[in-house]
C-alpha cells in the first residue's frame, strides 16, 4: 500500500525565531502514525524546525536545491549542504519554473543531485489555466515529467523514494482548486507516462502522487477519496495549525480505510 503523505510548503514565510514554535505546535496537533508528515520551511529555518520536531516523527524538507554539487553560485544551496538539515526536497515547483525560469532539463539535474545526497524528492508538475482549457493538461504534465526524468534510472528513482505532486498552476494560491476527479485523472496519466518510460507496471503503481493547489481542511477529503491520490502538498493552509490538524486527521482516516481494504 502506498503511504499517505502530507507535506507542508511554507514558502517564504517564518523566520528562525518563530518557525520552531509553529513546527512544534503542528507536530503536536497532527500525531497520526499512519500519515507521513513533512514540513518544508525556508532554508534559514531548517535547523529550527529540525530541532523542534525531534521525537515527533515529523520529517523536514527543503523547498529547492541547486543543480550542481559545489561551485561559484552565490546565494545558492547544494544538496550536500542540506544533509543533516533535511531528508526531503521539493523540485520543479511552478513558482520556481515561473520566477526563476527553471526548465525541465534543469529540474532533472536537481532531481539527480537530490537522489545522490539521499534526499527524497517531491517532483512537481502541472498545467496553466489556458493549457487545461485547451484540453492539454495531460500533455503538459507528460512533457514535464518526461523532461525531468530523462536519463534517470527508474530503479534509482523508485529506490530514492520519488514522489510526484500534481499542482495545477491555476489553483496555487488562488483559492481555486481542481476537482478530485481531475486530480485522479492526472495521477493515472502520470503513472501511464512512467510505464511508457520503461518503468515496470508494478513499480509505477507504487509511486505516491500528491495533489497540491489551494488545499484546505475543507476540501482535502475530495482528493483523498480518489484511490490514486496519496496525500497533498499544502501551501498557505500549512501555516495554520488548525488547518493542518484537519488535513492530517482526514489523511489518517483515509489511511486506515485503505489498510482495511488491503487486508
Residue spans of the domains in the chain: they are 4-262
Catalytic, out of 59, 102, 131, 167: 167
Catalytic, out of 32, 66, 93, 243: 93
Task: Specify whether 93 is catalytic.
Answer: yes
CB 110 within 8 A of CB 96: no
**Model pLDDT for residues 149-187, shown as the tens digit of each residue:** 999 999 999 999 999 999 998 887 777 778 999 999 999
What confidence category does residue 41 fall into, taking pLDDT thresholds of 50, 70 and 90? very high
The Cβ-side half-sphere exposure at 232, using a 13 Å CA radius, reads 34
Task: Specify whether 131 is catalytic.
Answer: no
**Model pLDDT for residues 52-67, shown as the tens digit of each residue:** 999 999 999 999 999 9
Helix (H, G, I), strand (E, B) or coil at 45: helix
Which three three-digit cell numbers place residue 170? 491555476
| CATH 3.20.20.70 is the classification of domain 4-262 | yes
CA 185 – CA 89 distance, rounded (Å): 25
pLDDT for 68: 98
Q: Which residues pair with 7 in a beta bridge?
A: 38, 233
> Dihedral angle at the C-alpha atoms of 67, 73, 75, 78, nearest 10 degrees?
40
Amino acid at each position: 500500500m502506498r503511504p499517505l503523505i502530507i507535506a507542508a510548503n511554507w514558502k517564504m514565510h517564518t523566520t528562525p525565531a518563530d518557525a520552531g514554535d509553529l513546527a512544534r505546535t503542528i507536530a503536536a496537533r497532527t500525531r497520526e502514525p499512519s500519515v507521513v508528515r513533512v514540513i518544508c520551511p525556508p532554508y534559514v529555518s531548517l535547523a529550527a524546525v529540525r530541532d523542534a520536531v525531534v521525537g515527533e516523527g515529523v520529517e523536514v524538507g527543503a523547498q529547492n536545491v541547486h543543480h550542481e554539487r559545489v561551485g561559484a553560485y552565490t546565494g545558492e544551496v547544494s544538496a550536500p549542504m542540506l544533509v543533516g538539515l533535511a531528508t526531503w526536497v521539493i523540485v520543479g515547483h511552478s513558482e520556481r519554473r515561473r520566477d526563476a525560469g527553471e526548465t525541465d532539463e534543469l529540474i532533472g539535474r536537481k532531481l539527480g543531485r537530490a537522489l545522490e545526497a539521499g534526499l527524497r524528492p517531491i517532483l512537481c508538475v502541472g498545467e496553466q489555466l489556458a493549457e487545461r482549457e485547451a484540453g492539454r493538461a495531460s500533455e503538459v504534465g507528460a512533457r514535464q515529467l518526461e523532461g525531468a526524468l530523462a536519463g534517470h534510472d527508474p530503479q534509482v528513482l523508485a529506490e530514492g523514494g520519488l514522489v510526484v505532486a500534481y499542482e495545477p498552476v491555476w489553483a496555487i494560491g488562488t483559492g481555486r482548486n481542481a476537482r478530485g476527479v481531475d486530480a485522479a485523472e492526472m495521477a493515472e496519466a502520470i503513472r501511464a507516462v512512467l510505464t511508457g518510460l520503461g518503468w515496470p507496471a508494478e513499480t509505477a503503481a507504487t509511486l505516491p502522487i500528491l495533489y497540491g493547489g489551494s488545499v484546505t481542511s475543507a476540501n482535502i477529503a475530495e482528493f483523498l477519496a480518489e484511490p490514486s491520490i496519496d496525500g497533498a502538498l499544502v501551501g498557505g493552509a500549512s501555516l495554520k495549525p488548525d488547518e493542518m490538524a484537519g488535513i492530517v486527521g482526514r489523511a489518517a482516516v483515509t489511511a486506515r480505510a485503505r489498510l482495511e481494504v488491503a487486508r
